Amino acid sequence: MSNYRPLSRIRVLDMSRILAGPWAAQSFADLGAEVIKIERPGTGDDTRSWGPPFISGHEGAQDEAAYFMSANRGKKSLALDISNPKGQNILKKLVFHSDILIENYKVGGLAKYGLAYEDLKKVNPGIVYCSITGFGQTGPLSSRSGYDFLVQAMGGLMSVTGEADGRPGAGPQKIGVALTDILTGLYTQIAALAALADRERTGEGCHIDMALLDVTAACMANQAMNYLVTGKAPNRMGNSHPNIVPYEAFATSDDFVIIAVGNDGQFEKFCEVAARPDLPRDPKYKTNSARVENRDELIPIIQGFLKERSAQEWISSLEEVGVPCGPINNVEQVFDNEQIKHRGLKMNVNHPTVGEIPQVASPIHFSGKKLDYSLAPPPLGFHTDELLLNLADIDEKELKSLYDEKIVG
């Protein structure tokens, strides 16, 4: 099975830091694009120092943060001072040879360096320029900084995440990973690919304006529509589902188990396994709509009989009849899961200063083809010489001068 690089003709300049932009750029790299990560000389992406944990490299090499390693696979690192006019000119040379630029500076942050979209489209009219901010390029909040945690709160996500008021541990909770950043990264990639498709027709690029707040609100999905239809804002419900019953975590005799009954037929099978065939015959529980209306009566009944057996007993019995259920795994158990192993989610790549390191593979699978993961997350400035000599029309003498002036690193 040969390595598959469907976006090998695409070059991406990644001028972003932290997670949303780097995630979008890594997704491009996984699909074969050449991704050049532009970083500050000396320090690089903020997440290079976000640890522990760190992976120690060869003697004299910088330790690499696991956080940075999670979002920068497949890229080439160029350490470049864009605050210097010479650095700005180098970036413009790279833009001329590129298809996509991803940045997450504050609104107007790159304009002061002459690197805004209006500046760079003069260099390359076909450039697809992706700006990622907390609140967008326009509007009353556009000048504010935005981080995932803040936007999870402002975008409504935390209002529906956590135990219900009045229950032990009640209160708003953020999701355990920066999901708003990750979703924004994925939407950015989708938008950029759409812009590339349109460029084939028009020959022109465009400026893509992505906001974490917009993405969070859009991804509220059924919760957003529940509000828009009823005028009533949804509340935190713990692990319960606002539109389906039973669909939550239940305690068994020894552990918790997820029961995810998605239709009336599954509810009947669930009740047969539980030796409670009377429940689906009761008009209060016969249909999902009725079960949602009467959840306060039904859930305690279900919780009562689930405690009579172990989690594994319930999972084994319910799987036999096709009722969706499963354990609540920690991350160690996830990567020990036979299905995860079969799908190849954990893999290793060779890092030039650290050696072999673990990575989480892309979840994208193409039939009969394997994605190319030949480049590890790069050490800071590791590809500076290669990129400037090959793409920026710079010779060895000028390169040495740039190093001496600390414009590159």
**DSSP per residue over 275-287, as a string?**
T-TTGGGSTTTSS
Report the topology of domain 3-218+344-404: Rossmann fold (3.40.50)
Q: What is the dihedral of CA 161, 163, 165, 171, to 10 degrees?
A: -60
> Which tokens is 25 given?
């750029």
Nearest to 57 by CA among 355, 374, 349: 355
Residues 17, 46 contacting (CB under 8 angstroms): yes
Give the C-alpha separation, 87 to 41, whole Å. 11
Q: Which residues of 77-105 are buried (b: 16+ CB within 10 A; e: fewer)?
A: bbbbbbebebbbebbbebbeebbbbbbbb
- Please state the separation of Cα 117 from the chain's center in Å: 25
Confidence (pLDDT) at 57:
75
Give the C-alpha separation, 94 to 88, whole Å. 10
Residues 247, 254 contacting (CB under 8 angstroms): no
Confidence (pLDDT) at 187:
98
Give the C-alpha separation, 78 to 81, whole Å. 10
Q: Which CATH number fits domain 247-332: 3.40.50.150, 3.40.50.720, 3.30.1540.10, 3.40.50.880?
A: 3.30.1540.10
Confidence (pLDDT) at 1:
64
Treating both helix axes as pointing N-terminal to C-terminal, what angle do 179-202 and 20-30 enclose, rounded to 10 degrees? 60
> Strand 325-326 vs strand 256-260: parallel, antiparallel, or unpaired?
antiparallel
> Which tokens is 278 given?
């009377």
Nearest to 33 by CA among 49, 19, 13, 50: 13
Q: DSSP string spanning 168-181?
A: TTBS----SS-HHH
Q: Is 350 helix (H, G, I), strand (E, B) or coil?
A: strand
> Which residues are CB-neighbours of 316 under 8 A, at least 6 positions away?
none
Q: Is 27 helix (H, G, I), strand (E, B) or coil?
A: helix
> Which tokens is 114 given?
């002459």
Treating both helix axes as pointing N-terminal to C-terminal, what angle do 264-273 and 311-320 enclose, rounded to 10 degrees? 130
Enumerate the CATH 3.30.1540.10 domain ranges in the chain, comma separated: 247-332
The residue annotated as part of the active site, out of 14, 45, 148, 181, is 181
Give the C-alpha separation, 234 to 241, whole Å. 11
Residues 164, 237 contacting (CB under 8 angstroms): yes
Model confidence pLDDT, tens digit, residues 210-257:
999 999 999 999 999 999 999 999 999 999 999 999 999 999 999 999
> Which residues are CB-neighbours of 321 under 8 A, at least 6 positions away?
269, 270, 272, 273
Confidence (pLDDT) at 50:
95
pLDDT tens per residue, the chain (409 residues)?
678 999 999 999 999 999 999 999 999 999 999 999 999 999 999 999 999 999 987 776 788 899 999 999 999 999 999 999 999 999 999 999 999 999 999 999 999 999 999 999 999 999 999 999 999 999 999 999 999 999 999 999 999 999 999 999 999 999 999 999 999 999 999 999 999 999 999 999 999 999 999 999 999 999 999 999 999 999 999 999 999 999 999 999 999 999 999 999 999 999 999 999 999 999 999 999 999 999 999 999 999 999 999 999 999 999 999 999 999 999 999 999 999 999 999 999 999 999 999 999 999 999 999 999 999 999 999 999 999 999 999 999 999 999 999 999 9
Enumerate the CATH 3.40.50.10540 domain ranges in the chain, comma separated: 3-218+344-404
> Which residues are CB-neighbours of 171 under 8 A, at least 6 positions away?
162, 163
The long-range contacts involving 197-202, CB below 8 angstroms and separated by at least 24 positions, are 199/126, 199/128
> Which tokens is 64 given?
């690499």
Q: How far apart are the first and last CA of the chain?
A: 38
> Strand 346-351 vs strand 370-371: parallel, antiparallel, or unpaired?
unpaired
> Which residues are CB-neighbours of 366 under 8 A, at least 6 positions away?
4, 6
Residue 366 DSSP label: B
181 a catalytic residue? yes
> Which residues are CB-neighbours of 102 under 8 A, at least 6 positions away?
12, 13, 14, 15, 16, 21, 24, 25, 130, 132, 188, 192
